[in-house]
Amino acid sequence: MRNHFIPLCLALVPTLAACNAHPLKSVELQTSQEDDDTVPLSVNRDVDILFVIDNSRSMAQEQATLARNFGPLVERLTEVDANYRIAIITTDAGHMQCPSNDAGNFKLRSCRSRPEDFETLQGDDYFEEACASVCDHDDIEVLPTATFQDPTPRARPWIESIDGVTNLPEGVDPVEAFQCFGPQGVTGCGFESPLEAMRLGLLQAGDDRSEEFGFMRPGAILAVVFVTDEADCSSRWAQVSDPWDVVNGSRALWSPENADRGRLTSEVCWFAGVECEQSPDGTQECWAVDKAADGSEADSEDEAVLHPLSRYAELLSQLEEQKKAINPDQELLVAVLTGVPTSYDGGRIPYTQGNDPEFLLDNGIGAGCESANGKAAPPVRLAELAHEFRGDEDEVNLYSVCKEDYSDAMSSIAEAIGKQVRPPCVKTCVADVDPVSAGLQPECQLTEEYVALDGEVVRYSIPECLPSADGFTLPEGVDACYRPLTDRDGSTPGVEDDMSETCVDEGWNLELAIERREGVAAPAGAQVQARCSVSPLKSVDCPDLLG
């Protein structure tokens, strides 16, 4: 279980979900409604996904593999009818040894338009391998769209599909777009900072001065996907420069071999943030720690070489708590493609010194996996963070970056997201108010409410849709209506009243589909409640709920 020990509202992002000025109403979730016939409906189909992609020199093959195998993620999001947004940032978050700093800015340019990102100072050119072989579009101009915070249509730095309508030009689908936007090149900092980059990207999304503002919708399911082949090096280099100072530094966090050679490598990232001890089986147990520049355990954050892991756990926990205020069942999700064995299926990660001395000197630890894609360092900080945000307790959310095919990983990530895009089951046993007529005849009243930007709580009724030759139509003067779905076993001729498999399996006898006028999206953070007549004969109307 997670330890949410921090305030609900995120002080660092004053506009994020507008939580300080616009408190959200609490909602009591009840799965048994013997005395109360008002139940919240989970009608949220919004999904925001942030990809954090390592753009260092060793990542050319991995970026191409990710692009080639991106399809299963979009396919699953489409299957569950999700309204999704996908943003991309790099692991380049600044370092005293690196001239570049993407600072969490969203990246949305076709890789074909930036071949310089695939050329290294050593003369290597990865453009064909990492970009041209997977991307078919020299340029992709996204179409203007509005957000909840900004109703003026503008070009936004993310891919989106809302009610099946994308922000992409005709002839370009989301998979093709990601195949061009995803490859980020190989010129980024070799001291990768995926955690700090994530933090900066999320803060950008909550800053009304940035182009990224509005990406995160208050009630949307949020997933963060890291793709990297090295350990996290989110360092406090501006405050603690000693470990990175090749000329005047103490080299206390360097191995003796590298210290003698005057060679600074990513081993410092490992030694500054990880502690290990030998296990009886010859492997090591490793865990995240905060080290000072002299190699001792830091007494405070001010002494730590790397930003403490709590910095990122607290940020994600605050975001999750804000979302739970809207949808109490919602979980923020983290997934990592990283240096775990290709056979990894959860549980303990084996750490070893490996049999490659140069890799050990480069990374401070032996490779966590190896394949045709190369070798990758195992995670500790990323693994511990991912463990706290994995949805179900038994869910695997660490995947091997060394695999030559990421489709299983993409499918698994999509499945975890899809579990939270729930159909609108009415979580009570609903009464049949007209037992003479065939099937369930429910009696319900629906209301929707949301908090506007000015803090006003907007509340209105949602009427039942009117029957028509085409199935249904919206009543005059409204932008939303509901349809009762009552067919649990396909016994009626049409499919328009079929209940979803989820609601049937859980034993409910009613599902309410919310239909909206074309071009009208649900308000961000909206909550829908249904007030339905409750069955006095639960054993008859909902036998699957018994026991």
Q: How far is it, in rounded angstroms, from Cα 231 to Cα 102?
A: 19
CATH superfamily entry for domain 46-236+300-420: von Willebrand factor, type A domain (3.40.50.410)
Predicted local confidence at residue 547, as pLDDT: 52
Whether 460 and 528 have beta carbons less than 8 Å apart is answered as no
pLDDT band at 546 (very low <50, low <70, confident <90, very high): low
* CA–CA distance, 84 with 78 (Å, rounded to integer): 9
pLDDT in tens, 291-315: 999 999 999 999 999 999 999 999 9
451, pLDDT greater than 80: no
Per-residue model confidence (pLDDT) at position 30: 32
> Which pTM was predicted?
0.84
Look at residue 484 and give its three-state secondary structure: strand
Token digits for 349? 């990660």
How far, in Å, CA of 120 to CA of 448, rounded? 54
pLDDT of residue 401: 96
- Mean pLDDT, residues 451-467: 88
Percent residues over pLDDT 70 in the chain: 92
Predicted confidence (pLDDT) per residue in 510-529, tens digit: 999 999 888 787 776 677 88
- Band (421; pLDDT cuts 50, 70, 90): confident
Q: Can you say whether residue 94 is alpha, beta or left, with left for phi > 0 and alpha for psi between -120 and 50 degrees? A: left
Cα–Cα distance between 193 and 233 in angstroms, integer? 5
Is the per-residue pLDDT at 140 higher than 50?
Answer: yes
In the sheet that 38-41 helps form, which strands lie side by side, from edge to edge? 38-41, 527-532, 444-451, 457-462
Give dist(CA 99, CA 93) in Å, integer.
11
pLDDT digits (tens, 9 = 90+) for 429-448: 999 999 888 889 999 999 99
Is the per-residue pLDDT at 266 higher than 60?
A: yes
How is residue 237 written in tokens?
């280099």
Express as a percent the part of the chain with pLDDT over 90: 67
Query: Nearest-CA neighbor of 426 among 284, 534, 297, 546?
Result: 534
Q: What is the pLDDT of residues 17-34, one digit of tens each?
A: 333 322 222 223 233 334
Strand 144-145 and strand 284-288: the pairing is: unpaired
For residue 271, pLDDT over 90 is answered with: yes
**Residue that wins the pLDDT comparison between 468 and 7:** 468
- Smallest CA-to-CA distance from 507 within 473, 533, 545, 481 is with 545
State how far the Cα of 355 lies from the Cα of 241, in Å rounded to an integer: 31
Is 439 exposed, middle or buried (CB count within 10 Å of its CB: 0-12, 13-18, 19+)?
Answer: middle
Residue 439 has a pLDDT of 87
Higher pLDDT, 408 or 100: 408
275-279, 391-395, 405-409: least confidently modelled range: 391-395
Average pLDDT value for residue range 316-335: 90
Confidence of residue 463 (pLDDT cuts 50, 70, 90): very high
The least confident of 90-99, 369-378, 476-485 is 369-378
pLDDT score, position 146: 87
Token output for 68: 């080639």
Q: Specify which of 119-133, 239-253, 366-380, 449-463 reaches the highest per-range mean pLDDT.
A: 239-253
202's enclosing H/E stretch is helix 194-205
Q: Quick one: average pLDDT of 226-250? A: 96
Domain positions in the chain are: 46-236+300-420, 423-547
Name the pLDDT band for 12 (thresholds 50, 70, 90). very low
- What pLDDT score was predicted for residue 282? 85
Average pLDDT over residues 494-503: 89
The bridge status of strand 369-371 relative to strand 274-278 is unpaired
Return d(Cα 405, Cα 403) in angstroms, integer: 5
Alpha-carbon distance values, 165 to 63, 88, 482 (Å): 27, 20, 21
C-alpha to C-alpha distances, 143 to 111, 154, 521, 523, nearest whole angstrom:
18, 8, 17, 21
Q: Which two tokens stand for residue 538?
A: 């639960």
Give the model's pLDDT for residue 288. Answer: 97
E strands, 228-320, are: 274-278, 284-288
